[in-house]
Structures are given as C-alpha cells and as structure tokens.
C-alpha cells in the first residue's frame, strides 16, 4: 500500500496559534500586575490612616512600617521591605486626590475604581516612575502616553529622559499645552506631528568625531524601531533613498514615512550641518512631486521635514510662505537635552503667552 505524504503544516497557522497563547499570557500577566497596583493603593491608604491614629506619629510610623514589613515578609516572602512599604505609602499620597481624564481610555472602562474613583492602567514599576514626577500635568501626560502607546518601563523612562513633554509643549500653542495633560499627544494637524528638537541619542553618534549624512541615515535605519518611537504616534516606514526623476534629473528622498492619523506621506531630508535656504527649497520640490505624482486623491497633502544639526529660524521664516503648513525644519540632538533648560524655556513661553493676553 502506497504511503500517503502528509501535507506540510502552514507555518502561518503555527504562528497564529502561538500568538494567541502569547497574548493570553500577556493578558494574564497584565491582570496580575494591575491587581497588585490596586492592592498597593489600598495598603497605602491603610498605612496612612493607621499612622494618623498614632500619638507620636513620626515614631509610630517608623515602628509601624518595621513591624508590618517583618509580618508580611514572613507571610508572603520578598517584596515588602520597609523601603517598598514607604513607596506604597507615597503611592497612595500621590494618587489619593489625583484624577485623570479617562475618556482617552475607553478600552479600559470595565476596570474597577478605588474609593476615590481613580482607575489604574499600568504596572507597579510604571507608577514607581510616574509618582516621582512632581508636575501633575506632566505626570498625567506620561501616564496617558504610556497607556495609549503601550510603552514598556524602559520606553517610559526614555521618553521622560528626552523631555518629550517639554519638547511637545514648546512646539505647540498654549491651548494645546493644557490638552497634553488630559489627552496626551493629539495629531490633528501637520504641526502636531513635528517635534523640535528630535532626540537621537540612541544612534551613538557622539562617539564619532565626524559623520556623513549617509552615516546618519544608516544609523537611523539600524535603529528604526527607536526612531519610530521618537517620531510618535501613527508613523509607518515606507523606504529610504526613494528615487524619482523630474526633467531627466534623478532625485532621492532620504527617508519616507506615512502617518496613518494624518493620512499623508512624511518626507525627511537629513542635513548634518547648518540649514540653508536651498535645503528648504529642495524639500518644497520633493513635497510638490509627492503631492502631484504619488499621493492618492483622497489622501492629505504631503509633509516635508528637513532634519538638521543647526538652523537659523529667521532663514526658515523668510524662505517659507506665511501660510505654510507642509514644510518644517527641525533640529536633531545626538545627546539628551537638559531637562532644566527646556523647563525654563517652557516657563518663559507660558509667561509670554499670559502677558500677551493681558495686553
């Protein structure tokens, strides 16, 4: 009897089954992490209320944490040191009266709420980082963005260390600054998708005494996932050195992306030196070509961003039309910016805006 050959199992099927299991495990892990966050909030409340009953509160509080630590460690093992109990107490103090706009989290509407009505959406490790941000608007912004973009703890730390909140606030108007703390980053207009500066510390370029535009481009491609994270919400990579021919001349666009929220192409031209007006003119030609030859009729106008090491804002303003909404020039930094200097600039910007309204 002839032996029948078995039909090979489709590898995509195997992957699909594995993905279901992986998602289930992730969901289970998330549920456990969230349960611990809610439990820690309740424990923090109990500690604070018990401390308030002590006659000598400072001494009683110290003794309380020591005894509670010993008791919980004996009963449940590691994780309940005096230091961690202090974090749990501080967590309650920070979030007891802290409310956040939950309309942006409609997918979590079934989550329970603590006695104050507050809901929690992230892991304990995330909240350990968040609760140390003293500016409540900034804290809300990073919580919202971490939830919306499913940031890992490392991604949250990186965005905080690169001063994402200050950079977005400096790039927008006063009304939208207030929206950052209630909605996170909203991408409704081309300018919403642009940062100034972009922070590219992950490229490792400070180690090089000099580098070319080709080297800069190659480093970005090598670290594409991190670059997409830096770009923000809705970006998808299309290609590098995208070629087109016009009047028998060949041109290359360094990097091409598509933004799903704005429904448009986003072109990047990389410059390692100071921005010149010719660079802006070249980008205008790229944008016009994509608008006339590449984009579909139902897609929005193309955005062009010249990413440069240095720029003169006066040159940019004089080169671009007053009603410009498509061409942008942004600096890039290869080291982490000073958070203090950006905060100072933001405070000055807000003070100028308040002063201008009063005139």
Q: Percentage of the chain with pLDDT > 90?
A: 42
Q: What is the pLDDT of residue 55?
A: 56
Residue 250 pLDDT greater than 70, yes or no: yes
Q: What is the pLDDT of residue 103?
A: 58
pLDDT above 70: percentage of residues in the chain:
85
- Name the strands in the sheet holding 235-246, side by side, starting at the edge strand that comes first in the sequence: 198-199, 327-333, 303-310, 264-274, 249-259, 235-246
Q: Quick check: 291 pLDDT over 90?
A: yes
Tell me, what's the pLDDT at 3? 56
- What integer is the mean pLDDT of 63-67? 86
Average pLDDT over residues 291-302: 95
- Is the pLDDT confidence value at 17 over 90? no
Q: Which range, of 7-11, 127-131, 255-259, averages the lowest pLDDT?
A: 7-11
**pLDDT above 60 (res 296):** yes
Which DSSP state fits 238? E
H/E stretch holding 355 reads: helix 339-358
Which comes out higher in pLDDT, residue 262 or 338? 262
User: What domains can be seen in the chain, in order of their start residue?
Assistant: 11-132 (no CATH), 198-336 (3.40.1350.10)
CA 34 to each of CA 38, 146, 211, 316: distance values in angstroms, whole numbers, following the listed order: 6, 14, 46, 48
Q: Which of 58-62, 193-197, 283-287 has the highest mean pLDDT?
A: 283-287
Question: Residue 245 and residue 43: Cα distance in Å, rounded?
Answer: 67
Mean pLDDT of the chain: 85
Encode pLDDT of 309-331 as tens digits: 988 888 787 788 778 889 999 99
Higher per-residue pLDDT: 50 or 12: 50
Confidence of residue 112 (pLDDT cuts 50, 70, 90): confident
Residue 186 banded pLDDT, cuts 50, 70, 90:
confident
């Amino acid at each position: 009897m002839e032996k029948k050959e078995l039909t090979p199992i489709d590898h995509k099927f195997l992957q699909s089954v594995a993905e279901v299991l992986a998602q289930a495990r992730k969901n289970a892990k998330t549920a456990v992490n969230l349960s611990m966050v809610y439990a820690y909030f309740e424990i923090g409340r109990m500690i604070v209320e018990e401390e308030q009953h002590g006659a000598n509160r400072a001494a009683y509080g110290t003794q309380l944490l020591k005894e509670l630590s010993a008791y919980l460690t004996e009963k449940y093992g590691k994780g309940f040191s005096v230091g961690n109990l202090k974090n749990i107490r501080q967590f309650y103090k920070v979030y007891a009266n802290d409310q956040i706009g939950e309309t942006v989290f409609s997918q979590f509407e079934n989550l329970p709420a603590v006695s104050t009505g507050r809901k929690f959406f992230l892991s304990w490790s995330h909240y350990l980082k968040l609760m140390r941000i003293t500016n409540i608007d900034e804290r809300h912004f990073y919580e919202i963005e971490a939830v919306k973009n499913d940031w890992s703890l490392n991604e949250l730390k990186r965005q905080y260390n690169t001063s994402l909140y200050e950079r977005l606030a400096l790039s927008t108007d006063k009304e939208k600054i207030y929206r950052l703390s209630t909605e996170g980053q909203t991408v409704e207009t081309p300018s919403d998708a642009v940062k100034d500066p972009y922070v590219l510390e992950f490229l490792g370029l400070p180690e090089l005494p000099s580098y070319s535009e080709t080297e800069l481009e190659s480093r970005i491609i090598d670290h594409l996932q991190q670059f997409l994270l830096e770009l923000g919400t809705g970006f998808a990579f299309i290609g590098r050195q995208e070629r087109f021919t016009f009047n028998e001349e060949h041109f290359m666009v360094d990097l091409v992306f598509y933004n799903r929220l704005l429904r448009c192409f986003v072109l990047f031209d990389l410059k390692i030196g100071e921005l010149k007006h010719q660079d802006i003119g070249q980008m205008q030609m790229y944008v016009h070509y994509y608008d006339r030859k590449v984009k579909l009729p139902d897609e929005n106008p193309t955005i062009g961003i010249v990413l440069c090491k240095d720029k003169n804002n006066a040159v940019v303003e004089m080169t671009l039309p007053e009603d410009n909404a498509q061409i942008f020039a942004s600096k890039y930094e290869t080291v982490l910016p000073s958070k203090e200097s950006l905060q100072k600039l933001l405070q000055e910007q807000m003070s100028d805006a308040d002063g201008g309204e009063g005139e």
